[in-house]
Amino acid sequence: MNPLLRTIVAGGCLAALVGCGGDPLAGIGRLSEVDLAEDTAIPAMTLPEDTAETPVARPGLLRQMLGGDGASARGGAGQPPSVPAGTLLSFGEVKPVCDLPEARRGKQIQAFPERRAAYRLYDSEPGRTTPHPFYITGFADGCARTFTAVVALFGAPEMHEMLRYGLPAEVQPYSAADRAYEQIKSRICRVGRAQPCGAKIAKIEKDTVFVSVYEAYGGTSRWLEMLLHAGEVMASDIKAGGGG
């Protein structure tokens, strides 16, 4: 099956699961410098533990701790710099937007999970058929994430398992997102590779979701896949494949 068609079908099924409110394709200190005399003693500067500034979460740190795939990881050394709302990125790029007022997000097209949503997906220009910014909120550092696409869909882990385990690896090789999900599933559900999570799937779905991103309509043969977990982008890579 064409990957875009398969994702749209999955998205249609997902709408029933998460109640997204409609078809997602409808309408497609730095410290200040102080001059000191040469003989002025500079005391050691420490902060009491209870007043220390809370560090900013580093995207990719949890993935690194879990042993995520290095090909897609940006590293635990820090996040990419924030970009302004409305920035058009190259396809496949995902960057933080740390100043994104609600008025600039556009239309919310999906939320996941339905109750106590951990992530929200926004289309900045609903109905536009050329690439434009999308936004996702729900990250640990308080910044949204933006990417450029014409179509983007959330996919529930349960739906991912139905599609992933129904395809032999030679037809659709495991991606970085697939491998990262297997590690999360193994830790939470205590099941082996290519085995459904089972009764604990609801626990995974509290803070885990797949995102499929397309740069064009029609029979495109490549798409961006992301796995979001615990407020971080655990893995992202561009997948390619023909219809079957």
* pLDDT above 60 (res 31): no
Residue 177 lies in a domain: yes
Is 181 contained in some domain? Answer: yes
Give pLDDT, residue 197: 96
**Structural domain for 205, as ranges:** 3-23+57-77+100-240
pLDDT at 130 over 80: yes
The confidence band for 244, taking pLDDT boundaries of 50, 70 and 90, is very low
* Reported pTM: 0.68
Report CA Rg, the chain. 20
Structural domain count, the chain: 1
Residue 169 maps to a domain: yes
Q: Give per-residue pLDDT as tens, 201-238.
A: 999 999 999 999 998 887 666 889 999 999 999 999 99
Residue 131 within any structural domain of the chain: yes
Question: Backbone phi, then psi, for 166, in 5-degree steps?
Answer: -90, -5
% the chain with pLDDT above 90: 52
- What are the contacts of 189-197 at 24+ separation with CB within 8 A? 194/164, 194/165, 195/165, 196/161, 196/165, 197/157, 197/158, 197/161
Of 45-54, 99-108, 125-134, 165-174, the poorest mean pLDDT is in 45-54
Residue 87 main-chain phi, psi, to 5 deg: -65, 135
pLDDT band at 5 (very low <50, low <70, confident <90, very high): very low
Q: What is the structure's pLDDT at 48?
A: 35
Q: Measuring CA to CA, which residue among 3, 2, 1, 26 is closest to residue 238?
A: 3
Say if CB 92 and CB 235 are below 8 A apart.
Answer: no
Helix and strand counts by DSSP (H, E) for the chain:
5, 9
Q: What is the pLDDT of residues 133-176, one digit of tens each?
A: 999 999 999 999 999 999 999 999 999 999 888 877 777 788 89
At residue 169, the pLDDT reads 72
Ramachandran angles phi, psi of 208, nearest 5°: -135, 130
Q: Does residue 36 sit within a domain?
A: no
Residue 42 belongs to some domain of the structure: no
**27 vs 128, higher pLDDT:** 128
Q: Residue 66 has what DSSP assignment?
A: T
Give Cα separations from 74 to 71, 182, 236 (angstroms).
8, 20, 10
Q: What is the pLDDT of residue 242?
A: 54
- Give residue 106's pLDDT: 97
Average pLDDT over residues 11-26: 40
Question: What is the mean predicted confidence (pLDDT) over 106-129?
Answer: 95
In a domain, 186, yes or no: yes
Whether residue 92 is contained in a domain is answered as no
13 pLDDT above the threshold of 50: no
